[in-house]
Structure 1
Amino acid sequence: MPRFQKYFFPFFSPIIAFFCSVFWHAGAFLYAQQEWKIVDQPWAWVFPRDHGAHREFKTEWWYFTGNLYGENREPFGFQWTLFRQGIFSSPPQKISKWGLRDIYFAHFALSDIRRKKFYAYERADRGALELAGVLEGSMGGWIRGWELRTIDNTKEKFHIHANEGEIAIDLNLEACKPPVLHGENGLSKKADQKGCASYYYSFTRLMTNGSIRISNREWLVHGTSWFDHEFTTNSLGNNEVGWDWFAIQLDGNEELMLYCLRTKEGAFDSNSGGTWVGKNNVRILKKEDFSVDRIAFWKSPNTKATYPAGWKIKLFDPPIEIIVKPKMASQELVLHQLGFLAYWEGAVSVEGEKEGIPVHGEGYVELTGYASPLQEAFGYSLQTQTEPQ
């Protein structure tokens, strides 16, 4: 690291965080005066254009998770996420390099499954002076050294990098399947209120290889990853506090995505749904097409929140019954910088039956709204570290 960066960022990062917070809350105050587009009609998808930013919508994220293995089959899980939160929907035509339109924040987590260590970090910055940003028209983004870039658009190959002290990932990812559109041609409804929806697609299986570093040790790794891209202006409904999200990759080259939207009463909202990605077909799932039962729980020593820690999932067509279990319990991110947000997101193992034949797999699960309702945390950016438990 150049000497300037080495000494500049540790000293000024609290100041940067302070100004992000000021801009964030000021931006929240101005939201009512902004004319953001809402998700209420079909989207004309074009790739690679739609891998890039959609600034007419208030909120957007690029989300990678995956299960990796070292040369001796040491298991790891990772998360790399970049968020864009719009402050102004219609900025002046001429904007200086100091001008602010978006705030960016990112999460990076690494699960060392064998040693039961979990590392999680966050960064936040304003979208000015090229401190953070995302590309328009293709996949790409950065935030002070953490980076997402396209290697080859025609082959849908990407690269992600993040490092925080002694922890780092450097990965190449190549899509095995074309983008999968969720909901009605990519319009994923989240609540009954008008505009409570997102435009949402995934790469459900990316072959992944590269390296990870923990302290002074480095592993060459390979495995499979999942990528989500969503953009929206309003997502959760008035009675929803969070979601349970499942991204499952089965050994037979088939994938399952489910999102269970939780109400204040603890039930799953009727707008919950998902997508089955078979070998030769993609099927959109509604709430009545599957069931999810919680069969185990884990209490966080950090937040005292109680999270589900095991699930029985049934899919009725095709007939599938699987048990999903965390590869390790402590995979909770606790974030404080510009507000409070805690959520569990971690690597999971899968086993069960499909049409009476044993199946195995792995994936990632995200659990939000258990430590506090998600609405209380929306509209903030991040930078802190969860120490391993």
Structure 2
Amino acid sequence: MNKMLKMLNKNRRSHSFSVPFFFFLLLFWSGGGLFFLHAGQDWAIVDRPWSWLFPRDHGSHPEFQTEWWYFTGNLYGTKEEPFGFQWTLFRQGVFGSSPLKISRWALRDVYFAHFALSDIQRKKFYVYEKADRGALGLAGATVGDMGGWIRGWELKSKKSTESGSQEKFHISAQEEAVGIDLELEAQKPPVLHGENGLSRKADQEGCASYYYSFSRLKTQGLIRVSNKTWRILGTSWFDHEFTTHSLGKNEVGWDWFAIQLDTDEELMLYCLRTREGGFDPNSGGTWIGKKAIRHLTLRDFKITPTAFWKSPHTAALYPAGWKVQLGDPEMEIEINPKMADQELVLNQLGFLAYWEGAVSVKGKKENNPIHGEGYVELTGYAAPLQDYLGYSFTHAGPSFLK
């Protein structure tokens, strides 16, 4: 671990740490009677259709244990300088029933966030993480509309008085080495994945999430690297999921693809990997065409790795190129990382590592050439996801609190 920490301090990437997260959790746990009273850990599970309503469902759903708001995108400076970014806020419930607050220190949820910037031209990758309590105004997420924050990083909904205007959002994160300040405007309505937004992850009861995306967000704003700032334009993708039991008992991680084509169409695929090395039958995706949106099952597509990359930081072997074949519409595309090293190595929740990066796309759709770009996420390659997160999504709370 000392070797790992030394590597994280190299100039190539930078990390931001708040006051040690586990210290606070242990403090609250050992002195729980001073901060909250609690009647039980009763979490809602994903087992029935959800009655969707926006903008309400952009906001937090505290009755579920786990939730995240996830932005990724490909951006370009005025001279076509390429960048990729990820901005994510996670909420993890500690207590299912709202505690009777006898102090503003009362703890119900904990929050953590990841921010990464890929400077493609210079082959530099910057990673930051934050974690804090959902108390004292240090971190939180709004209920009823899009909004969240954690120690200076912020997500906000932008209100518009224009009739028929698209939904707009703002995200920001400023650190010593890099920063972003972005305005995002939805070009399409929210897309519900799975069965009207119920995305099954495994055959066990409740192993599912409520899941939707904005598959195309026009993005503009500022990117800063050290003392240089770029005004940028580009396209982003947004995911929002809330759940209580996510991964199945035999699943170790997933491969996730969010692809935006130059035909104004999008493709999302997720492959849930099992301990035996195959894909769980609940893997699937969504085709977002010009005229129709179609739910995809594992039988509808084929993904073949075409290259691999071994991380110099964790020794994990990641796929680093893919061929994707789709039957309806008839399509074959090649996906390749825009740079090899886009691995996030994080330490706030114990050792956690995953690859998340900007990719380019080319191929054919119904015999016509197509191009595009997007983001790919690869989890569970450095170690099974449930093992190194420090808690299991399939249990009723963080294991370090038990």
Is the CA contact (8 Å cut-off) linking 1:17 and 1:124 kept in structure 2? no
1:150 and 2:150 aligned: no
1:320 and 2:331 aligned: yes
Is the CA contact (8 Å cut-off) linking 1:24 and 1:103 kept in structure 2? no
Q: Distance in 2 between matches of 1:108 and 1:252?
A: 29
1:137 and 2:144 aligned: yes
Give the aligned partner of residue 19 of structure 1: 24
- Aligned partner (choices 203, 213, 223) of residue 224 of structure 2: 213
Give the aligned partner of residue 385 of structure 1: none
Amino acid at match of 1:306: L
Amino acid at match of 2:142: L
How many residues get paired? Answer: 369
Alignment of 1:231-310 (within 5 A): 231-310=242-321
3-state SS, counterpart of residue 150 of structure 1 = strand
In structure 2, relative to structure 1, the CA distance for the partners of 1:275 and 1:16 (3 Å cut) is closer
What CA deviation, in whole Å up to 9, does each residue of 1:192-211 have, x standing for no partner?
Answer: 10000000000000000000
Q: Distance in 2 between matches of 1:221 and 1:295?
A: 32
Is the CA contact (8 Å cut-off) linking 1:290 and 1:313 kept in structure 2? yes
- Taking structure 1 as the reference length, the TM-score comes to 0.91
3-state SS, counterpart of residue 19 of structure 1 = helix
Q: Which deviates the most, 371-380 or 95-104? A: 371-380
Cα distance, 1:34 vs structure 2: 1.1
Give the aligned partner of residue 330 of structure 1: 341
Amino acid at match of 2:367: G
Amino acid at match of 2:55: P
3-state SS, counterpart of residue 321 of structure 2 = strand
Cα distance, 1:375 vs structure 2: 0.5
3-state SS, counterpart of residue 50 of structure 1 = helix
Is the CA contact (8 Å cut-off) linking 1:24 and 1:379 kept in structure 2? no
Name the Cα RMSD after superposition: 2.2
Q: Distance in 1 between matches of 2:39 and 2:268?
A: 34
Q: Distance in 1 between matches of 2:328 and 2:286?
A: 11
Cα distance, 1:97 vs structure 2: 1.6
Give the aligned partner of residue 383 of structure 1: none
Give the aligned partner of residue 5 of structure 1: none
Is the CA contact (8 Å cut-off) linking 1:21 and 1:338 kept in structure 2? no
Amino acid at match of 2:111: Y
3-state SS, counterpart of residue 14 of structure 1 = coil
In structure 2, relative to structure 1, the CA distance for the partners of 1:80 and 1:48 (3 Å cut) is same
3-state SS, counterpart of residue 386 of structure 2 = helix
Give the aligned partner of residue 373 of structure 2: 362
Amino acid at match of 2:120: I
Cα distance, 1:337 vs structure 2: 2.3
Q: Distance in 1 between matches of 2:17 and 2:237?
A: 34
Give the aligned partner of residue 60 of structure 2: 53
Is the CA contact (8 Å cut-off) linking 1:309 and 1:325 kept in structure 2? yes
5+ long unaligned stretches in structure 2: 1-14, 33-37, 392-402
Cα distance, 1:377 vs structure 2: 3.1
Give the aligned partner of residue 385 of structure 2: 374
Is the CA contact (8 Å cut-off) linking 2:17 and 2:129 kept in structure 1? no
Is the CA contact (8 Å cut-off) linking 2:112 and 2:130 kept in structure 1? yes
Amino acid at match of 2:199: S
Q: Distance in 2 between matches of 1:37 and 1:168?
A: 36
Cα distance, 1:357 vs structure 2: 0.3
Q: Distance in 2 between matches of 1:321 and 1:207?
A: 26
Q: Distance in 2 between matches of 1:171 and 1:55?
A: 27
Cα distance, 1:304 vs structure 2: 0.2
Cα distance, 1:19 vs structure 2: 1.2
In structure 2, relative to structure 1, the CA distance for the partners of 1:244 and 1:103 (3 Å cut) is same
Give the aligned partner of residue 187 of structure 1: 198
3-state SS, counterpart of residue 288 of structure 1 = helix
In structure 2, relative to structure 1, the CA distance for the partners of 1:129 and 1:196 (3 Å cut) is same
- Taking structure 2 as the reference length, the TM-score comes to 0.88
Cα distance, 1:13 vs structure 2: 3.5
Give the aligned partner of residue 133 of structure 2: 126
What CA deviation, in whole Å up to 9, does each residue of 1:197-240 have, x standing for no partner?
Answer: 00000000000000000001000001000000000000111110
Is the CA contact (8 Å cut-off) linking 2:166 and 2:187 kept in structure 1? no
5+ long unaligned stretches in structure 1: 1-9, 381-389
Cα distance, 1:183 vs structure 2: 0.2
Cα distance, 1:15 vs structure 2: 4.5
Cα distance, 1:35 vs structure 2: 1.2
- Aligned partner (choices 12, 34, 38) of residue 41 of structure 2: 34
What CA deviation, in whole Å up to 9, does each residue of 1:242-299 have, x standing for no partner?
Answer: 0000000000100000000000011011000000000111000000000000110000
Amino acid at match of 1:274: G
